[in-house]
Chain A
């Protein structure tokens, strides 16, 4: 059976087209683009909440989008044990909805950060990711508020349940940073308790094509399809 997926577009989303190309090229299956005011969602295996500045990041990144009409359907989709991936602004929206723990606050240096970063898998069995234990992935980030924060109790919960999917790490060569944005324990991505909802700051949809600097972003979709 072919893999079905969808990308939600909010006003101000700017990685929706990138996410659509990513899914089209890698899944070869049906891909839907859903406007935020829709009230129904086709039955799909994966939904992506894309990056961007939904509603201009006004109020707080992701806050306004988390109240959009389509969110009701997104929550249903997640509760149905289907895959839900929030990238960058999508991650922020997931924390605002409450599907994921914690919050994303301003980067430690208080500056936008657009560069390549290196991440590796923290715990197994998250989001069906089949990535080798010490494999370092090179994937770009582009965010102002990517500094993951939560209280100690929540952090312990995330650890005990093995919900930390990715952490930032140094790359193979000099001049790469351990923790680019000051995230608590260098967290780059987490899942929910059931491991079917993943939020991550790096953009795998910008690292999959042959002409991209890295193709490591493929692993996420390939893991889900296999």
Chain B
């Protein structure tokens, strides 16, 4: 076979040799296409597998860990929660609207494929500097796309993050997370149950879109590539997905299907191969039966990534009933093959076998690399000069930085209250929805701290997990489990590979300590363009619960006159990376001063105090302290024209980052009870001030409340327009 053809398919010549040797014959072009799809990073995790295996994936509440369409955890009674996060980075750069829309579509299918009804989505989106011409176009397109898909299908968007940083100029990130509710005795898996079961195709017709999308997602970009690659981006139709979701959920609850697979990345190829591999069986599919939108070759059908399609296995006797239900929902349905006992993947077209491969070579023999990696070098210590910085400048630096401004412009484009169960909307420390018909609530948060991870991948990742943890704790939500989306640059660079390896170790350490196993995830590598790698961005989606919706906290001020307390430990000025970067103390923050070691036991201790005080109804409102310190946390807590009056030894302290940091609002009458509780637990606290009406006052200096609030709330839109 022609070497160029092999390389164009994203396989190395060594990888091809392995296949050739195993089969001891030449491959058909369709077979080459299959290996191209199945052996790329996106499908087989060839670079990350070795390290991902080290993550904790199980505990007493995990029903399904990684390996299925989504992870599932136990929420007592018959309630299970399915959730997963997935990236659509490269497609969203090439075509932001459809790239992000289909990202949401894909993750929702992962959830309802498990038999779960999606009840919430979140997202983590990152862009380059707003001064870069393209960023505005990307931001508008991505937000519009996420909104378009989620709003139309009618799943509330309950939160996420949106950040701007120069390394994402040519590699914006779009990670979409979905959460679903499933009855524990009605979970569906991709493993087929019986030989002879019919393989059926459900959903949209197959077209040319997305051919080679999965291998595209694993390529390094160069700028000229963009236009050439546009046809590879899938086009989404949320209306079709809504019908597909209702149709599939009805089929599942009627007990008419055995198993189901989403035709996601690499379409019918990966869904059928996975089905065969999970069930340790074979599949035989007639490609002539696949419903088509336009004439396509066998090769194109195999690799099409047309959206809104499912592959299911049913018992022959249910064929008629399945057809009837899908007709009601106006969904295409076709029997295209059957489950065999051959342990081979066979595709036929025009009465000819175009693909005939053992499952083993595609799945089990997929390459796994142990790539070289470097440990980051030790950073020099340096004392920075803080003497010139004034309080006014520090406030101004935050209010002119998009990362600190209120993101309502983004969230208001999402429907966050559809389904009628939303309790906390985007913009709070975590999004919260009620499990329909119960008193139970689910909270979720997506977070990443790329700057910390660049400085120290291991410690930085611990901080990232701790940030998600604190976001849930602040609302009185018990953290339960994690989904992760590892976004990195090229792993062929040992420095990048080092960040990948060490951050996975940090994730492991924190997840074990917090007893929050990783139940699903996704890896997105090669996020670099023109030799500029993105900052390491392993995003965490953490899910937690409270069994009683009346016990959760708000993040917003409740009442004028209430006291404001700070819990946790401040990072020293010289070791507070976002302070140094965003207050423009230094421009090469990554060169100096390592991160302070994060004491996870201390995180747990303080978190337990917050949870206990919340249950005692002593906490009126609570917010976690992260980027931008206490000041930023207080800004986020303003509500109904309530502000704050605080006194601190040094105003810079208000802008430093924290470990286990929380701002809590308590009633004066509870002050004794709260402080003696904290003292008894050995948790230090700082009483810094109180909630006031329409004012912001720091160390007796009064600021114009409405001027600051106006900038905080409205300047985001001004800057990005």
Closest Cβ of chain A to B601, distance in Å, is: 35
What A residues does B44 contact at CB under 8 A? none
In chain A, positions 40-83 with a C-beta closer than 8 Å to chain B are 51-53, 55-58
B412: Cβ under 8 A from any A Cβ? yes
Q: Say yes or no: A111 contacts B329, CB within 8 Å.
A: no
Report if A57-B152 is in contact (Cβ < 8 Å); known contacts: A115-B412, A174-B641, A174-B706. yes
Interface size band for A = 20 to 34
Q: Say yes or no: A206 contacts B420, CB within 8 Å.
A: yes
In chain A, positions 102-118 with a C-beta closer than 8 Å to chain B are 111-115
B239: Cβ under 8 A from any A Cβ? yes
What B residues does A142 contact at CB under 8 A? 151, 415, 417-418
Q: Say yes or no: A112 contacts B151, CB within 8 Å.
A: yes
Interface size band for B = 35 or more
B713: Cβ under 8 A from any A Cβ? yes
Question: A14's contact among B154, B422, B713, by CB below 8 Å, is which?
Answer: B154
Q: Say yes or no: B412 contacts A11, CB within 8 Å.
A: no
Bits for B698-721, please: 1 = Cβ < 8 Å to A, else 0. 000000001001100110000000
Closest Cβ of chain A to B246, distance in Å, is: 8
The docked-state distance in angstroms from the alpha carbon of A198 to that of B331 is: 33
Query: How many CB-defined contacts (below 8 Å) exist between A and B?
Result: 93
A175: Cβ under 8 A from any B Cβ? yes
B416: Cβ under 8 A from any A Cβ? yes
A21: Cβ under 8 A from any B Cβ? yes
Bits for B387-425, please: 1 = Cβ < 8 Å to A, else 0. 000000000000000000000100111111111101100
Report if A203-B417 is in contact (Cβ < 8 Å); known contacts: A11-B330, A173-B641. yes
Told that A14-B153, A53-B151, A115-B408 touch, could you supply 19 new A-B pairs with CB distance under 8 A?
A12-B152, A18-B420, A21-B420, A52-B154, A53-B152, A53-B154, A53-B239, A55-B239, A56-B238, A112-B148, A112-B412, A113-B413, A114-B411, A114-B414, A114-B415, A173-B640, A175-B713, A175-B714, A206-B420
What A residues does B152 contact at CB under 8 A? 12, 14, 53, 56-57
What are 30 A-B contacts with C-beta separation under 8 Å?
A: A11-B243, A11-B329, A11-B330, A14-B153, A14-B242, A18-B418, A18-B419, A53-B239, A53-B242, A57-B239, A111-B412, A112-B144, A112-B151, A113-B413, A114-B151, A114-B413, A114-B415, A114-B416, A142-B418, A173-B641, A174-B641, A174-B706, A174-B709, A175-B709, A175-B710, A205-B420, A206-B417, A206-B422, A209-B420, A211-B423
What A residues does B411 contact at CB under 8 A? 114
The docked-state distance in angstroms from the alpha carbon of A112 to that of B414 is: 7
What does DSSP make chain A's interface, helix, strand, loop or mixed?
A: loop
A17: Cβ under 8 A from any B Cβ? yes
The docked-state distance in angstroms from the alpha carbon of A205 to that of B420 is: 7
Question: A114's contact among B412, B420, B709, by CB below 8 Å, is which?
Answer: B412
Closest Cβ of chain A to B100, distance in Å, is: 14
The docked-state distance in angstroms from the alpha carbon of A177 to that of B216 is: 45
Shortest Cβ-Cβ A-B pairs, 5 listed: A14-B154, A56-B239, A18-B420, A142-B415, A114-B415
A: residues with CB less than 8 A from B are 11-12, 14-15, 17-18, 21-22, 51-53, 55-58, 111-115, 140, 142, 144, 172-175, 203, 205-206, 209, 211-212
The docked-state distance in angstroms from the alpha carbon of A114 to that of B146 is: 13
Closest Cβ of chain B to A47, distance in Å, is: 19
